[in-house]
Amino acid sequence: MQVIADQVYIEDQYPGVVLGAISLGHGLIQIDAPPSPEDGRSWRAALLGLNSGVERFLVNLDSHPDRTLGVRAMDCTVIAHEKTAQAFRNRPNTFKSQPEETGADWEAVIGLGTIRWSPPEITFTERMEIQWGSMPVIIEHHPGPASGAVWVIVPESGVVFIGDLALKGQPPFVASANLVEWIDSLEKLIGSEYRNSLIVSSRGGLIGLKDIESQLVLIKEIHQKVEAIGKTPEGMNEIEAIIPGLVARLNAPADRLKQYTQRLRYGLRQYYLRRYHPASNIDSEEE
């Protein structure tokens, strides 16, 4: 566990997403959960060593399985955006582990079996503030990677948890994305309000302005290419053709090339079908 500011911690040692914790006088605010129940138990044990009150909240930054599969093992009250709650209402009650090849990290976790989802018990639409001591914690809606994507902001510590808005060294998840909203949220993050903040990405930990600007360029490029492809009759074939160039820009390690290529393939196909062929039989749990 890494201390990044007073009472604010991150953990990047579990498969899935970078986790967060904010230790306050009244209790502990956790950000996301590891997908493996075993890792969840290990993370819970680590959190017991923090000097916080007895109450526990867990914030899901969106509905992606990498951050929501293990929530039940954390055994605490869950907060998320209303559209994330809608995503859970569109899912079966239980998750059954099977190869999906979406390029997500949970697919490499062994022994997940059948897991019961833990939908959020507290939801909001635009902004929520938690007052559990002298340091308020703000949860704000910033869609893009998902319609229910949120940031967790700790103003006094200058920390912002941004979820999958900007990823470091890996391709974005675009299957449930709105690319125009994604661009808007990235431009807001680059603005002066957050210029001196510590930015925590769920896929890379602490990131800098250059990482965010690179993500903005990439999302704009994907948006432009897909919009152009959407006007042609051979859309799916052309989607496939742009993937190698996008992957090459990431300088990904060799052992991740297959996963990252599949992530883009699955995501771009889902995005293209949802945008240009909405009658297609595709998953769109947050729409």
CA distance 167 to 214: 9
Nearest to 26 by CA among 45, 44, 51: 51
Q: Which two tokens stand for residue 236?
A: 């799916």
Total structural domains within the chain? 1
Q: What is the pLDDT of residue 233?
A: 66
- Rg of the chain over Cα atoms, rounded to whole angstroms, equals 18
Q: What is the pLDDT of residue 131?
A: 92
Mean pLDDT for 258-282 is: 84
As a whole number, the mean pLDDT across the chain is 91
Residue 154 in domain: yes
Write the CB contacts of 275 (distance below 8 Å, at least 6 apart in sequence): 226, 230
Which of 45-59, 234-248, 252-266, 270-284 comes out lowest in average pLDDT? Answer: 270-284
With a cut of 60, say whether residue 284 has pLDDT above it. Answer: no
14 falls within a domain: yes
pLDDT grade, residue 218 (50/70/90)? very high
Q: Which domain holds residue 204?
A: 2-276
pLDDT for residue 45 is more than 80: yes
287 pLDDT tier (thresholds 50, 70, 90): very low
Asked, for residue 96, whether it belongs to a domain, the answer is yes
- Choice between 47 and 280, residue whose per-residue pLDDT is larger: 47
| 3-state per-residue secondary structure call for 128-143 | EEECCCCCCEEEEECC
pLDDT in tens, 163-184: 999 999 899 999 999 999 999 9
d(CA 253, CA 102): 18
Q: Residue 211 is part of a domain; what is its CATH number?
A: 3.60.15.10
The answer as to whether 31 is a domain residue is: yes
92 in a structural domain: yes
Residue 149: inside a domain, yes or no?
yes
Nearest to 161, CA basis, from 280, 259, 15, 17: 17
* pLDDT of 286 above 70: no
Please tell me the predicted confidence (pLDDT) of residue 52.
83
Across 42-46, 72-76, 95-99, 246-250, least confident range = 95-99
Average pLDDT over residues 219-224: 95
Closest to 154 in 3D by CA, of 166, 136, 129, 140: 136
- Over the stretch 83-101, which tens digit does the pLDDT of each residue have? 999 999 998 888 876 667 8
Lowest mean pLDDT of 7-16, 26-35, 197-206, 223-232, name the range: 223-232
Render pLDDT for 103-159 as a digit per residue (tens, 0 to 9): 999 998 888 888 889 999 999 999 999 998 778 999 999 999 999 999 999 999 999
Residue 100: CB atoms within 10 A of its CB come to 12
Whether residue 281 is contained in a domain is answered as no
Beta strand 150-154 with 159-161 is antiparallel
Judge whether 283 lies within some domain.
no
**What's the pLDDT score for residue 282?**
52
State yes or no: pLDDT of 281 exceeds 70.
Answer: no
Assess contact for 160 and 138: CB atoms under 8 A.
no
